Amino acid sequence: MADRLVLPGFVNAHSHAFQRALRGKVEGGDFWAWREAMLDLARGLTPEHVRTEYSAVYREMRAAGYTAVGEFHYVGFTEAEAAVEAAREAGMELVVLYAAYARGGLDRFRPDSVGAYLDQVEALRGTGALVGLAPHSVRACPRDWLEEIGGYAASEGLVLHVHADEQPREIEECLAEHGLRPLELLGETGCLGPRTTIVHATHADERELDLLADTGARVCLCPTTEANLGDGFPPLVGLLERGIPLCIGSDSNVRIDPLEELRELEGIARRQTLRRNVIPVADLITAGTASGGAALGIDDWPGIEIDLDHASLRGVPPSDAHAALVHGCGADVVTPSRDA
Ligand SMILES: [Zn+2]
């Protein structure tokens, strides 16, 4: 029997599974041009397509060591039910982060009102699915929607995920509309708290980071996607100094490898500080596992095993195995799951 290292499964706290189909497509000069290609893809989705395609994507995640996923879903109600079925088929624990989208995007993203949105959330919860609230962004949700959704999440004890500060243009538009930066607006509308996960926070300023620390919110970083889309570097030093909990996501699924996401975090932190070992390995593993579970509001998800006889781990003593995983391995060191 080969030597195995048992670990908690990695938690992918932020995924848009349909975007996996854009892997290898290099059109688009910037984030906004990429977004047009993404919207074209979203326009053509059907529940049947979601069920088969998402199932394949979740199997790819499962093979890479992710055993739970937060699917940030804005492509329709029936499609959300199909995503739940796809995850079940793939042996993946799934939380539907059901997105509220009031303006912009495609017709299919937008319920008629915030009340209609919350009715859909209730209906989805009624099916037994694990559900979180997901006002898409301050671009997509006006102030009254944010207030209503923040209040509902608090009263129901549900997690709330929101994209924020991914691109400078979003911040400029938020300042023009509200006189506030995105995280300030989310704070004012009751959307920041210990059950909140801010996705990206790439261009958050010091005051916004203080706000996250004060309210107990966490941040989901998606470094392979953030690199691919030209978002910028996350403010890792500011996040770490304040003790803001971090988790990871594969986001656009241009790459599906939790070890690479974690390695990127530490690599960015080293480049920013000109030091080594900025984030302890144990903290990186926690970001990839327990912190993601907390972000999704789940206590239980399958574990994984690492093949210590894998060529990537040759010559590594057991005491260095965790560090070698993060710094020197790809997801192919995860052994095929026995129960998926
Ligand atoms: Zn996203």
Query: In whole angstroms, how far apart are CA 213 and each of 183, 210, 217, 219, 243?
Result: 12, 5, 7, 10, 7
Give me the pLDDT at residue 2, please.
63
Q: Does the pLDDT at position 221 exceed 80?
A: yes
Predicted confidence at residue 337, as pLDDT, reads 61
Residue 1 scores a pLDDT above 60: no
**Which region holds residue 157: left if phi is over 0, alpha if psi is between -120 and 50, else beta?**
left
Ligand 1 centroid–CA 15 distance in Å is: 7
Average pLDDT, the chain: 96
CA of 270 to the centre of ligand 1 (A): 25
Residue 50 CB contacts under 8 Å (≥ 6 apart), including other chains: 17, 18, 75, 79, 82, 83, 86
pLDDT tens, position by position, 231-255: 999 999 999 999 999 999 999 999 9
Contact residues for 305 (Cβ-Cβ < 8 A; gap 6+)? 4, 5, 6, 7, 334, 335
Band the pLDDT of 336: cuts 50, 70, 90.
confident
Residue range 129-145, pLDDT digits in tens: 999 999 999 999 999 99
Q: What is the pLDDT of residues 53-99, one digit of tens each?
A: 999 999 999 999 999 999 999 999 999 999 999 999 999 999 999 99
> Separation of 249 CA from ligand 1 center, angstroms?
9
* pLDDT one-digit tens code per residue, 111-120: 999 999 999 9
Is pLDDT at 286 greater than 80 in this prediction? Answer: yes
Token pair belonging to 77:
């109600």
pLDDT band at 29 (very low <50, low <70, confident <90, very high): confident
Rounded Cα distance between 7 and 89, Å, is: 23
Kindly report the backbone phi and psi dihedral angles of residue 54, in degrees, each rounded to the nearest multiple of 5, phi listed first. Answer: -65, -35
- Report residue 305 as tokens: 């095993």
Query: What distance, in Å, lies between the first and last C-alpha atoms of the chain?
Result: 20
Which residues have CB less than 5 Å away from ligand 1 (the ion)? 251
Strands 196-200 and 218-221, how do they pair? parallel
Give residue 4 CA to ligand 1 midpoint distance, Å.
34
Residue 294 CA to ligand 1 center (angstroms) comes to 18
Q: How many A from CA of 285 to the centre of ligand 1?
A: 22
Residues taking part in catalysis: 200, 251
Predicted confidence (pLDDT) at residue 340 exceeds the cutoff of 90: no
